[in-house]
Amino acid sequence: MVIVSVHQPNFMPWLKLMAKVLESDVYVAYDSVQFTRQEFHARQLLKSRAGKPEWLTVPVLSTGTRQILNNVRVAENGWRRRHLDFLERNYSRAPYFDEVFALIHAVYERQHRSLAEHNLDLIEQFCRYLGSGVRIVRATGLQHGGTREERLLDLVRHAGGDAHLTSTSATHVIDWTGFEEAGIPVYHQIFDHPLYPQATEPFTPNLSVTDLLFHTGTGAARLLASCSRRELRPSPQPAR
């Protein structure tokens, strides 16, 4: 069984998304959707030494019109240095700072002009650091079209999948009929946010996985695996 997950390539993703990627055989970076500043495409929360969560944001160039994520370009105004300074200032005392910071620094040195490329480079480096062999492909490189459900099914099929892992919440209703007809089972991700050592109290949940990596190193792989599981979506019952 080849399990495929599909999600936008968010900036320094939070723990639940990272766990879903690590649980997948193939992760499809959904870079053909619309970019929005309200999502986590170009921003994420990390923790300052004062104990407060703070936004780390990648500034992007505005075209004045809607853009798909694949077309978004980053601004060149010193944000890379500011990000690295923030990480050094707030995480330099973390147990695994040196090795994780070196990984992030290498990505920032590559000076990606594309937001999606920058984000995916970080995600891939995090995956490799955690020992994952997940294959990462971009939606813009795969044939897909039609309704939301049809696009999703196309992406799973063209990525070589015969099962789909989703974390879609109950607020986003999806008709899985096409998957049922295609014989592709759908697994729901069940995620329980873990507790782990942080430099300051109280514990702050829902931060970037970067926070977890600085404090637990490669042990983050075991922790994420222990707090995330798959649950098979039940097949519909026949009408009586």
Position 53 scores a pLDDT of 96
Q: Report whether pLDDT(68) > 70.
A: yes
**% of the chain exceeding 70 in pLDDT:** 96
Average pLDDT for residues 136-147, to the nearest whole number? 97
Q: Report whether pLDDT(169) > 70.
A: no
HSE-CB of 61 using CA atoms within 13 angstroms? 12
Query: In residues, how long is the chain?
Result: 240
What SS3 state is found at 64?
A: coil
Over residues 82-127, the pLDDT tens digits come to 999 999 999 999 999 999 999 999 999 999 999 999 999 999 999 9
Mark out the alpha helices in the chain (DSSP H runs).
15-23, 79-91, 97-109, 115-129, 148-158, 177-182, 209-216, 220-227
Beta bridge partners of 6: 28
Over residues 202-234, the pLDDT tens digits come to 999 999 999 999 999 999 999 999 999 999 988
Task: Burial-class residue 81 by CB neighbours within 10 Å (0-12, 13-18, 19+).
Answer: exposed
Over residues 12-57, the pLDDT tens digits come to 999 999 999 999 999 999 999 999 988 999 999 999 999 999 999 9
Position 236 scores a pLDDT of 54
Q: Report whether pLDDT(80) > 50.
A: yes
Task: Burial-class residue 162 by CB neighbours within 10 Å (0-12, 13-18, 19+).
Answer: middle
Position 238 scores a pLDDT of 43
CA distance linking residue 111 with residue 226, whole number of Å = 35
Report phi then psi at 215, rounded to 5: -95, -20
**Triad 109, 13, 48: Cα angle to 5°:** 80
Q: Report whether pLDDT(145) > 50.
A: yes
Position 20 scores a pLDDT of 98
Lowest-pLDDT choice from 152-161, 163-172, 206-215, 216-225 = 163-172
CA distance linking residue 23 with residue 225, whole number of Å = 8
Position 51 scores a pLDDT of 94
